[in-house]
Structure 1
């Protein structure tokens, strides 16, 4: 059906295979806009799989913006998508070859901190990591007495290349991967490397503070673009102005949690191509998509225009201070030269340990285990918030990552002094903490609650304290 088949011997799940094939057909125009897809029961019978797998595929592609449901009518290919030529037989063959080759704070803590971006360190596989570190240390010899390759250890870049293809569909060479000491260093390296050619950057509003600070320090002009429930609103822009970069968190916008729709992804890439510029994709936590499968990065749509930034701070631990960039082939020499001039090397033993940790499958096993933990915590937090506030709130976040955004439909709740809650035994962040001055109104205001490093008991107690605070002020 639809010319789609499931490889029962593949290491990829049936859900992933079906999503990839349907998505490719839509992108290539073989399934046209407005086409009504067959009912899930029909396809499940045809493909010999459980109906809930087909339902999950439809939900995943609807979340990405490729499909749209019409009440009482069915599921259709979304209107307005930009289609491209189907991949050549040669590229499909190369793809096939590549695939074959292969918390807790103490319950007695007086203040419950709903801090964002902090994973549960009590569940970190410390023994496996210690073994990887020990093996890496023992493997160091005279060959490794120098600083090594400025791009990073070859074994780590090789492990990353294979993992990124396997988990996210990213195709790149080892030469395009640059190991950095966290996203902060990676973004700083990009800002400095590209400053001779670019002077301004489109940046999400609201957004994480350190990225905007980095570009401001490098004398870039910040052009805020507001975020709504479909991510950065690039529809506000008719084109990218000359000399402008763009920085986007498409898979899970911070702090709103929104997912950049496929239409907006395509538009941003088209404008970048027209302006001969680059999009910087900050993919800080897409491994923790808690419903469906990870959304394919923007990099897969345009490897020549998207600079991809990844990190291990959320998946493993912030203190690891290790991340990576995937640089378009035409920029690698320039970025490498700048990295060398700045003397930005990452400790070699750490890199070798991480390479072993990934190659041995420990990294992916840990991510899978933590997805289950964070999904349970997110559901608990969401349920308790609705129990406490009912229709006075909306909980947003696209079921991903380690935080949610709580928007208030009751103006009295929205106007409470949320920065003055320590006396009530809890701390939260607000979207105002991440706001940039802008002439356009920002729709996604509220409080941001992280749950990665909180126990279920702390989540329960924390929501009670939030409710008590709101009641006392009202």
Structure 2
């Protein structure tokens, strides 16, 4: 007789319990090839379960090849089903939820690049979403174009010309799942192992990783309060491209002046290489008029990357890559093999959101809110640290740089700050050449309330009193 323990309080159905136990005994060799199993009637009586449960379990095992039925003889363990069992790895425990921006956490997280998610225009988005689900053609539910829906590309090309001075035909646009995918596509498009790329330093560590994983060697150019120092561009190498964040250098926050932009374009022409422009959170400019894109100076030399993660929500996973015309077809193929296409309905909703003027109104509203939060942060930092703090990079975006004189933000000090309930992020984490920015912090404020900003700076002050 085949005895199988049955647990009627388990979340597993009785059928799955019977099936699973027989399967494990066959794989382990406890039930050897050729062994005869009891009839379904016998086993159901022995286990005191419905015969249908045993029939279903046997049928599943027969379908998977574990059992073989012989007419008039019964059911037997099939040949070739034993698998030597190795020691099983321990089950992975559930990872701790580390959503540090959640309001229930005692940690005040000054992480940069997070918008005020609680102010996402849910009602408008939901209304447009319902409309699009009702009106969208059936084709929007199927496999779609890798470069993105023409409705969004058409609207977006006009919007970017109006707001950022970007010159492109809709066919030069590829809709991506955020800026990260756009960067990855650019790397696959342009890089081979051993290639040189020029990057401003410091720059987001993740972007460095994307390019180095493609086999490229990074040549760093220092950035200052005006962005990448174009006078230091090397003549002795042949780079595939120069990567820059000209409208709002990350993390230092500078804006590249026209003189340096002209130098960059001339350098790229001289070296016959491309420029990659990451237009990082440039929509939220708090001081001075909007700055036009680098792409507008030479559209056939610049790859332009943008996303809606900072404007609306990272959860939308919606970005775009604007390409010189000669790179479009190859990039479309790469996008197809990456993920076929970005979700179509979200593209249609976003197109209607931009077309209806909702995006511009949302940006104007958020600029006022972010500027107020920035001003409170600056006031708190100056009040807490007086002459010890130098603030920069605050004219645009969702973060600023706080340089604390005579402070070195090493691992021990950062741990002490975290112990006090604050997360801060050193500029040094994003440097290529180490040792030049140890006294600087990136302090994001977009997602924090006024009270959280005040409390976070107060906690930081307490820790740094003795430093």
183-192 vs 236-245, greater mean Cα deviation: 236-245
Q: CA deviation at 1:419?
A: 4.1
Q: Counterpart of 1:424?
A: 420
CA distance in 2, matches of 1:425, 1:192: 41
In structure 2, list runs of 5 or more residues that go unmatched. 1-99
RMSD: 2.1
| Alignment match of 1:276 (pick from 266, 272, 279) | 272
1:221 maps to which of 217, 225, 228: 217
Is the aligned partner of 1:411 residue 2:403?
A: no
SS of equivalent residue, structure 1 residue 254: coil
1:256 matches 2:252: yes
Residue 129 (structure 1) aligned with residue 111 (structure 2)? no
Cα deviation, 1:84-131, whole Å, max 9, x if unaligned, reads xxxxxxxxxxxxxxxxxxxx9677641111111100011111000111
Cα deviation for residue 239 of structure 1 reads 3.3
CA pair 347-430 structure 1, distance change in 2 beyond 3 A? same
| Counterpart-to-counterpart distance in 2, 1:131 and 1:194 | 41
User: Which structure has the larger Rg?
Assistant: 2
CA shift at 1:189, angstroms?
0.7
Q: 2:450 aligns with which of 453, 456, 467?
A: 456
Whether the aligned pair in 2 keeps the contact of 1:156 and 1:355 (CA below 8 Å) is yes
For 2:433 and 2:357, locate their aligned partners in 1 and report how far apart those are by CA, in whole Å: 45
Q: For this pair of structures, how many residues does the alignment match?
A: 367
Alpha-carbon displacement from aligned partner over 1:340-385 (angstroms, at most 9, x marks no partner): 2334410001111111111111111111100000000001100110
Under a length normalisation based on structure 1, what TM-score does the superposition of the two structures give? 0.74
C-alpha separation in 2, matches of 1:341 and 1:144: 19
Per mean C-alpha deviation after superposition, the further-off stretch among 243-252 and 154-163 is: 243-252
1:466 maps to 2:460: yes
Residues 152 and 345 in structure 1, CA contact (< 8 A), matched pair in contact too = yes
Report SS of the residue matched to 2:377: helix
Matched residue of 1:116: which SS?
coil
- Residue 334 in structure 1 maps to residue 330 in structure 2: yes
Contact 1:240/1:275, CA 8 A, preserved across alignment:
no
Question: 2:202 matched to 1:206?
Answer: yes
Q: Structure 1, residues 182-211: CA drift from partner, whole Å, max 9, x if none?
A: 111111011111125981211121111211
Could you tell me whether the CA contact under 8 Å between 1:197 and 1:243 is conserved in 2?
A: no
Structure 1 residue runs of 4 or more that deviate by more than 6 Å after TM superposition: none
Residue 390 of structure 2 aligns with which residue? Answer: 394
Match runs of 1:246-325 below 5 Å: 246-325=242-321
Match of 1:155 in 2: 151
How far apart, in 1, do the equivalents of 2:459 and 2:193 lie?
51
1:169-184 equivalence runs, <5 A: 169-184=165-180
Aligned to 1:75: none
User: Which 5+ residue runs of structure 1 have no aligned equivalent?
Assistant: 1-103
Give the alignment partner of residue 141 of structure 1, picking from 137, 140, 148.
Answer: 137
